[in-house]
Amino acid sequence: MRSRLRQIIAVAVVLVLVAAAATWYVRSRPDYRHVTAYFTQSVGVYRGTEVRILGVPVGRVDAVAPRGTEVEVRMRVESDVDVPADARAVVVAPSVVSDRYVQLTPAYTGGATLADGATIPTSRTATPVELDELYESINRLAASLGPDGANATGALSDLLDTSARNLDGNGQALGDMIRDLGGASGTLANTDEDFFATIDHLQKFTAMLRANDEQVRTAEQRLASVSAFLAEDRDDLGAALHELAAALAQVRQFIADHRAAIKSNVDKLATITQVLVRQRASLAEALDTIPLAVQNVLNAYDREHQTLDGRGNLNEISMPGLPLPLPVAGGGG
């Protein structure tokens, strides 16, 4: 029994040790997500190259392999680091001779994250220009501008000589132009919304003109006719304008000579106008009754005897408190 108990205890201790080792291994081993990026070239990128975000290492390159015209770069990134789902991969060369690294950009600020096993296509990757490619480009440019290229007949030299003569003594003016151009660019940058709104309104205006092309052509023809008419009668028009100018001069002189009288008449006219405004109800009533009174006068006229016939209202004498009856059209008045 004791021997069996010792065996059970030994097995339990071994199991506890194995579980503890497995737990330590799992906890000490970092968890990664795997990402594959495709580049047009991968000079200076090898297995073990660092993967960074904002310059901070977050993983490493696991493998680099050619795939046709592209290069497949498989990377692992720490799973606790969030990467945007539409992230770009850029090969960065801090200097000419230093090791390169793969930069994932931009930094995560929110939204969907890059999943494990995601792929970044060449449309979202970039590589730096190599030094030998830069030298080759400069060499091609120099050859194109050299005696076997654009300057084969001395055209480039003539251009440089002419430019030097034109710019001689104009350094200050050229500097002022560049400074003013910078100021104009800054002004346009600060008013870009108004500038683009103006362009949008101009586009709507031109669209309206295009939609009303026939009416615009008619207006242009009529304007041309008016212009031709004025051109034919320009002598008469000039004479009329001359006479108008003379008349305006006389009016101005008349106003200057009779300023006091004109002011007095205007003041009196203002008084009369105020009276008319205050009595406008009475004037309105008079305008309503005068046509009827005139009609009554016409009806009271006796053509045969050439007299105006009328009658006395005795009720007004006997009962003065009663109102007078209104005249009736067709009556005697």
The residues with which 307 forms a beta bridge, in sequence order, are: 302
User: When comparing pLDDT for 301 and 213, which is higher?
Assistant: 213
93 touches 134 (CB < 8 A): no
**What pLDDT was estimated at residue 287?**
80
**What pLDDT was estimated at residue 329?**
46
51 and 122, same domain (yes or no): yes
- Domain end, chosen from 100, 130, 160, is at 130
Which of 17-26, 59-68, 293-302 shows the lowest per-residue confidence on average (mean pLDDT)? 17-26
Q: What average pLDDT score do residues 190-203 get?
A: 79
- Specify the number of domains making up the chain: 3
User: When comparing pLDDT for 313 and 121, which is higher?
Assistant: 121
- With H, G, I as helix, E, B as strand and everything else as coil, classify residue 199: helix
According to DSSP, the β-strands at 50-53 and 56-67 are antiparallel
DSSP-assigned states of every residue in 245-287: HHHHHHHHHHHHHTHHHHHHHHHHHHHHHHHHHHTHHHHHHHH
76 and 112, same domain (yes or no): yes
Tell me, yes or no, whether 47 lies in a domain: yes
pTM higher than the cut 0.75: no
If you average pLDDT over every residue of the chain, what do you get? 81
251 and 291, same domain (yes or no): no
Which of 80-84, 112-116, 166-170 shows the lowest per-residue confidence on average (mean pLDDT)? 166-170
- Domain end, chosen from 130, 159, 181, is at 130
Q: How confident is the model at residue 35 (pLDDT cuts 50, 70, 90)?
A: very high
100 and 41, same domain (yes or no): yes
CA angle 148, 152, 155 (to 5 degrees): 140
Tell me, yes or no, whether 185 lies in a domain: no
Q: How many helices (H) and strands (E) does the chain have?
A: 10, 10
| Amino acid letter, residue 230 | L
CA distance 281 to 293: 18
Tell me, yes or no, whether 46 lies in a domain: yes
Most confident of 104-118, 213-227, 238-252: 104-118
Flag whether pLDDT at 333 surpasses 50.
no
Which run of H or of E encompasses 307? strand 307-308
Domain with 233, as residue range(s), is 211-265
